Each structure stands twice: as C-alpha cells, then as structure tokens.
Amino acid sequence: MSPSYDDLCRTGDALRFAKVAMRGGDADSGTVTVFDDSPVAVSAAGAPDVMARVATNVLGPIEALPVGDRELLLDTLEVWFGCGGSAEEAAKRLYVHPNTVRMRLRRIAERTGRSLADPRGITELSLALRAVRQTPKPPSSESTGTTETADS
C-alpha cells in the first residue's frame, strides 16, 4: 500500500511506491505491506538486483548449508528480529530453550562474520534476510542429509 497523498499530481509516485510495497511483502504470505510502516521491506524491494547481491554477500555461508539447516537458522533469525532481539521470546515462539536460540544466533554470527551486538551487523542481516524472504524460491531437489547440523 502506498503512502497517503492529497494531490492528484502525486498519483504516479504513489503507484510506484505501492508497487515497491507489494514487492516488499513476504513472498509466501498474503499480508499487506504498508510503504511507510515497512522501511526495511521497501528498502529491500526498491532495488531487487542490488538486494539479491547483498543477500548473497551477507547470507552466502548460510545459504550454502543444506536446506533444513539453512531454514532453521533463517527462521530463528527472523523470529528473533520479530521478538525485538529477545532470545527468551524467540524461544517461546520456536518451542525451544533460550540457549538453543542463542546458540543458533552464534552460528549465524560465526558463519556471516556479522555481530548481532553491532548495529551495522544487525542491519545487514536484517536487510539480507528480508531480501531472501521476499524472493520466492523454486522447489529444490537438494539433499537434506548433512554431517553438520545447524544446532551443532
């Protein structure tokens, strides 16, 4: 949804903003993205080619994991962001112990080289995750068997 406007001359801009907001939604959810209420989502959607590169650079080491491990870590990161950075709240939503959430977050930090205590690292991870989440992925025939798991 575009920001509200009160001058018909701004209709073109509003339409462009609405299209960016539509791309900024989660590819797998039917939720409405409001342009002014979703700065991270619309920033990631505003330049999809640039954000694809950012996502690859930031989350590449996680994307290289087997599907199950990758989704476990990315889901944990997304829930942690949704809980305002609270491992305790994220653990409740994920039905795991808070230490499990902390361990997964450490794995993310180790693999990506980004600290979840540093505002820049958090911003980069948030933008990259948003870019990954709003891009639909085709089904994969990738093996899910691994000797290293996301929780090890």
35 secondary structure, DSSP code: G
Helix, strand, coil share of the chain (percent; to 5) = 65, 0, 35
Mean pLDDT of 70-74: 97
Q: What is the mean pLDDT of residues 115-132?
A: 93
- Give 130's pLDDT tier (boundaries 50, 70, 90): confident
Q: Is the pLDDT of residue 142 over 90?
A: no
Question: Which sequence spans correspond to the domains of the chain?
Answer: 8-44, 47-133
Q: Are 1 and 19 in contact (CB under 8 A)?
A: no
Q: Is the pLDDT of residue 5 over 70?
A: no
Per-residue pLDDT band at 7 (split at 50, 70, 90): confident
For the entire predicted model, the pTM comes to 0.70
Is the pLDDT assigned to residue 33 strictly greater than 70? no
Judge whether 26 and 18 are in contact, CB under 8 Å.
Answer: no
> Is the pLDDT confidence value at 91 over 70?
yes
Mean pLDDT for 101-122 is: 97
Amino acid at 137: K
Domain range 47-133, CATH architecture: Orthogonal Bundle (1.10)
- At what angle are helices 98-112 and 48-63 packed, to 10 degrees? 110
Sign of CA dihedral 28, 125, 122, 151: positive
